[in-house]
């Protein structure tokens, strides 16, 4: 970075600090009057970091001799801290703080005893498959459950909605930046695009904007397979590997039209799950012709509702549904239940139309709820994949590709950081107040970067208290006359 750019960055940082420090007494100790439950949740952050450290300590380590001076736990937590703070310079800042003050936030907030170099982190983590960190998704899943958050997210028929979708997290046309786990696209003009992608399942709910991340499944070349790996094959592997882990007895998979095909639907049913998939007429011509041939009122049912839309304007919701429709034209066709929603405005203009297939029996009592659940699928794109790519997490940025597993391992850490942020947003009132006060995710990360650059905080709790005091919110809110 140039000196001019660095000076500009530091000036922006100081402006944030001045804003936070206005009328602040600079006492970083915890406030004694804080509700015990909030304290308990903040301590839960420390417990989760401790659990991640324990997992990291057990990662496979191929180093020998003098090369083992840094613990695997310190190396892993150092990488994770960068993603949690969304600050590529976090480790560098903490090294300077350690030299100047003999203490640093990497140690106090993330339990990192010694800070390794960036190159040592990349070289050491490259041979480590990402599955070794998957248990931390389970820790977070359990934390969500203990707070009652998963129960609150259940939808129609009291079912839990699990959305499936794939996303890219790396691509390059460089001849030098690729690995054995890359997928590739060979273009007609001779160029080759190497890329990484993964299934990133999340729990969603029509009534919640947040999503809960589950274990991912990486789309990579499979041993013994000549065909390139694909989204559906990865989704089937995910089912086979994790169905037992996430099965509660009433769970429904959501997916786009790619998933609405007989082999995958049967796999979902065989594992004891329900399905609710987008079903486009163009890709299911036999099903569409069958539906249109049904007798209205007898086999093809309708429901009309007048509701207030997001813009607080009246809309007309027109539902159609039919049960026991063959998904294909084959003799062994799976019978599915089909529904469609068409939304028009007051002038009769069509604003939205989509159709779905499901194994749930459809009636006038649940058709609106089922369609709302099906439409919640988009949250895996807008509230998960797009957030990870465009709202502070930089999922597609090349933090380090490596020759083996580095790219997928770092992507896993990014997903875990996002999941931990979500847990704090849903369970920690102080975190939620701060997020609301600073606005965007990027704004929150900018404040976090600034404070951890200039000040040392003994605990996560003291950092949250300091931010609330500077922003005059929570227990420090100033009464307005």
Model confidence over 104-153: pLDDT tens digits? 999 999 999 999 999 999 999 999 999 999 999 999 999 999 989 999 99
**Quick one: tokens of 382?**
């807008």
Contact present, 417 and 84 (Cβ < 8 Å): yes
Query: Among 73-77, 194-198, 203-207, 451-455, whose mean pLDDT is lowest?
Result: 194-198
* Beta strand ranges found along 19-175 (DSSP E): 160-163, 166-172
Contact present, 156 and 370 (Cβ < 8 Å): yes
pLDDT of residue 301: 97
Residues 174 and 302 in one domain: yes
Within-domain flag for 412: no
Q: What is the CATH number of the domain that holds 197?
A: 3.90.350.10
Q: Radius of gyration of the chain from Cα atoms? A: 25
User: What are the backbone angles phi and psi of residue 242, rounded to the nearest 5°?
Assistant: -125, 5
Residue 206 has pLDDT above 80, yes or no: yes
Residues 79 and 195 in one domain: no
pLDDT of residue 373: 97
Q: What is the DSSP letter of 222?
A: P
pLDDT of residue 175: 79
Residues 98 and 213 in one domain: no
Listed residues 359, 387, 415: the one ending a domain:
387
pLDDT of residue 245: 95
Residue 187 has pLDDT above 50, yes or no: yes
Listed residues 387, 404, 419: the one ending a domain:
387
Residues 40 and 80 in one domain: yes
Q: Residue 288, Cβ neighbours under 10 Å: how many?
A: 17
Residues 74 and 183 in one domain: no
Query: Among 21-25, 172-176, 360-364, 435-439, whose mean pLDDT is lowest?
Result: 21-25
Residues 16 and 73 in one domain: yes
**pLDDT above 70 as % of the chain:** 85
> Model's pTM, two decimal places?
0.86
Residue 20 has pLDDT above 70, yes or no: no
Q: Which domain holds residue 183?
A: 133-387
Residues 284 and 383 in one domain: yes
Residues 186 and 276 in one domain: yes
Residues 301 and 204 in one domain: yes
Within-domain flag for 176: yes
Sign of the alpha-carbon dihedral angle for 255, 423, 382, 362: positive
Q: What is the mean pLDDT of the chain?
A: 86
Say how many domains are in the chain: 2
Q: Residue 249, Cβ neighbours under 10 Å: how many?
A: 8
Within-domain flag for 207: yes
Listed residues 387, 414, 438: the one ending a domain:
387
Across the range 25-40, mean pLDDT stands at 39
Angle at 161 between CA 390 and CA 305, to 5 degrees: 95
pLDDT of residue 34: 36
Across the range 18-23, mean pLDDT stands at 43
pLDDT of residue 480: 55
Model confidence over 302-361: pLDDT tens digits? 999 999 887 788 999 999 999 999 999 999 999 999 999 999 998 889 999 999 999 999
Residues 298 and 169 in one domain: yes
pLDDT of residue 437: 93
Residues 189 and 230 in one domain: yes
Residues 37 and 144 in one domain: no
Across the range 388-401, mean pLDDT stands at 61
Model confidence over 464-473: pLDDT tens digits? 999 999 999 9
Within-domain flag for 281: yes
């Amino acid at each position: 970075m140039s000196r001019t750019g660095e000076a500009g960055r530091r000036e922006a940082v100081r402006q944030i600090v001045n804003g936070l420090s206005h009328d602040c007494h600079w006492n970083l100790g915890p406030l004694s009057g804080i509700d015990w439950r909030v304290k308990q949740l903040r301590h839960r952050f420390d417990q989760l970091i401790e659990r991640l450290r324990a997992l990291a300590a057990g990662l496979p380590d191929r180093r020998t001799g003098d090369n083992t001076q840094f613990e695997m736990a310190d190396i892993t937590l150092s990488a994770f801290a960068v993603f949690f703070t969304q600050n590529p310079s976090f480790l560098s800042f903490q090294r300077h703080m350690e030299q100047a003050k003999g203490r640093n936030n990497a140690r106090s907030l993330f339990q990192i005893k010694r800070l390794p170099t960036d190159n040592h982190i990349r070289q050491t983590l490259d041979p480590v498959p990402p599955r070794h960190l998957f248990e931390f998704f389970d820790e977070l899943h359990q934390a969500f459950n203990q707070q009652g958050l998963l129960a609150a997210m259940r939808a129609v028929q009291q079912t839990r909605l699990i959305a499936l979708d794939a996303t890219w997290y790396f691509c390059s046309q460089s001849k030098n930046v690729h690995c054995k786990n890359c997928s590739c696209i060979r273009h007609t003009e001779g160029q080759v695009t190497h890329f990484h992608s993964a299934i990133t399942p999340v729990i969603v709910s029509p009534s919640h904007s947040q999503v809960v991340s589950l274990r991912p499944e990486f789309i990579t070349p499979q041993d013994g397979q000549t065909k390139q790996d694909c989204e559906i094959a990865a989704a089937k592997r995910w089912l086979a590997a994790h169905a037992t882990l996430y099965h509660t007895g009433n769970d429904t998979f959501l997916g786009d039209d790619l998933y609405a095909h007989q082999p995958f639907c049967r796999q979902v049913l065989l594992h004891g799950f329900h399905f609710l998939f987008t079903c486009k007429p163009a890709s299911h011509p036999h099903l569409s012709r069958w539906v249109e041939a049904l007798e209205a009122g007898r086999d093809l049912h309708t429901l009309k509702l007048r509701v207030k839309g997001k813009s607080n304007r009246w809309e007309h919701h027109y539902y159609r549904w039919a049960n026991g429709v063959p998904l294909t034209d084959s003799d062994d066709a799976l019978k599915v239940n089909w529904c469609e929603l068409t939304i028009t405005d007051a002038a009769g203009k069509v604003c939205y139309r989509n159709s779905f297939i499901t194994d749930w029996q459809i009636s006038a009592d649940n058709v609106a709820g089922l369609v709302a659940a099906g439409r919640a699928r988009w949250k895996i794109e807008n509230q998960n994949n797009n957030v990870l790519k465009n709202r502070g997490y930089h999922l597609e940025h090349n933090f380090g590709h490596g020759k083996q597993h580095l790219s997928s391992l770092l992507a896993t850490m990014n997903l875990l950081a996002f999941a931990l942020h979500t847990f704090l947003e849903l369970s920690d009132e102080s975190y939620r107040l701060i997020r609301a006060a600073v606005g965007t995710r990027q704004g929150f990360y900018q404040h976090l970067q600034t404070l951890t650059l200039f000040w040392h905080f003994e605990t996560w709790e003291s950092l949250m208290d300091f931010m609330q005091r500077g922003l005059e919110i929570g227990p420090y809110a100033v009464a307005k006359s």
